[in-house]
Chains A and B, each alone.
Chain A
Amino acid sequence: MDVAQLKRQLFAYTALLFHEGFLDEQFTQLQQLQDENNPDFVVEVVSLFFDDSERLLNELAKALDQQNIDFKKVDAHVHQLKGSSSSIGAQRVQRVCIAFRNYCQDKNVEGCLKCLQQVKHEFSLVKNKLETLFNLEKQILAAGGSPPT
């Protein structure tokens, strides 16, 4: 595939992710912070987000598995996840977190467990899609194209 085709693909794919709400304006902000001196900025931040989220999801699973659930603790983890997903523009993850926090407030175990599943699902979706997006960028670079802006 030539560079032009790849770029069109990347453009279309990115637009789709925005359209479907996986990404929001904050992701665009991050892209604007990337330049030739910091060409990997977005990948780096997103990787941090992936690692951090996986950790938080594990903590959440553990916390919700307790006999006596500490909802403050659960809420604290969700708050962190909400914050970091917001910071990278992972809108759907962020939205589930908002609902999740409400269930924490209400100490609603079922609601929390449901949200945990939802947030894991959304996280895995956005992770997949971002990895696809980064792959496209890599292909463009490998094919001799300039870094997409």
Chain B
Amino acid sequence: MARNGVVSWRRRSSDQLDGSDPSPCGSEEVHVLAVDDSLVDRKVIERLLKISSCKVTAVDSGIRALQFLGLDEEKTAGDFNGLKVDLIITDYCMPGMTGYELLKKIKESSALREIPVVIMSSENVVARIDRCLEEGAEDFIVKPVKLSDVKRLRDFMTRDVGDRARSDGGGTTHKRKLHESSDASSSSPSVSSASSLSSSQPTTPSRSPSPSVSSSDPSSPSPPSTRSSGPCSPSSLESPTRRLKMTSGCD
């Protein structure tokens, strides 16, 4: 994809491959693949990413994501359409393939496993978060996604892209790095770090400017302890097999 200095305004709202907004940083423009079945959420995440100087490709399913990454049945892994993906951000609850299943497929692929994957979910469930992190997700963002969440990812990605460009794409794992640094920082009101959750009650998508962990407010998702909350039921998350079987209605 040619990158000249001219911004193509007619494509400015496009989420397609050949958007040619130049990165203010110059050479290291981050390309993010966003996966979400919700049209509203795709629009929002796309804008959040673009305003954070990322190139975005937004798709509506895990299958399409794998197709884009060159990991479907007809292509061999690594057969990219020419655009390197620096980060994958995916919704957890999607019909068909969940974000968790997509994460697993990506981490199982030798060609793709280096790509950091971030999971988004409206459900603030510790077991789910832990499971995703254990499977190799870089981070877990509780929806609704805010600008501060994306900015943090962006900073992480700039470092990471730089590192990967310098090393030969070697085995440096940044797993948990973002997660640990966001643990230390308490400036962002939005919650994505899992390690701060494991010892205390689940943190909520905080509406207040206070950086501290707050207890549930009425607008937060119901606590996971008592009841299952549908197809993405926290109570059924113990067994991966059972979890997968229950995903049919999950979106």
- Using a CB–CB cutoff of 8 Å, the interface residues on chain A facing chain B are 24-26, 29-30, 32-33, 35, 37-38, 41, 44-45, 48-49, 52, 72-73, 75-76, 78-80, 82-84, 86-89, 91, 94-95, 98, 101-102, 104-105
Contact = CB atoms under 8 A, between A and B. Distances in A.
B231 A48 contact: no
B196 interface: no
A76 B12 contact: no
Given A72-B231, A94-B219, A104-B230, A29 B144 contact: yes
B130 interface: no
Which 8 A-B residue pairings sit nearest by Cβ, starting from the closest? A75-B230, A72-B249, A84-B40, A76-B249, A26-B144, A87-B144, A33-B47, A86-B144
Interface of B: 12-13, 38-41, 43-44, 47-48, 51, 93, 95, 122, 143-147, 205, 207, 218-219, 221-222, 227-232, 248-251
B40 A88 contact: yes
Contacts, number: 99
A91 B220 CA distance: 10
26 contacts: A24-B207, A30-B44, A38-B13, A41-B47, A45-B40, A45-B44, A49-B40, A52-B40, A75-B230, A76-B230, A76-B231, A76-B249, A78-B230, A79-B122, A83-B122, A86-B144, A87-B40, A87-B44, A88-B40, A88-B44, A89-B144, A95-B218, A101-B222, A102-B222, A102-B229, A105-B228
Nearest to B229: A101
A94 B221 CA distance: 10
A95 B230 contact: no
Contacts of A32: 147
A87 B205 CA distance: 12
User: Most B CB atoms within 10 A — which of A41, A83, A84?
Assistant: A83
A42 to B, nearest CB: 10
Nearest to A76: B249
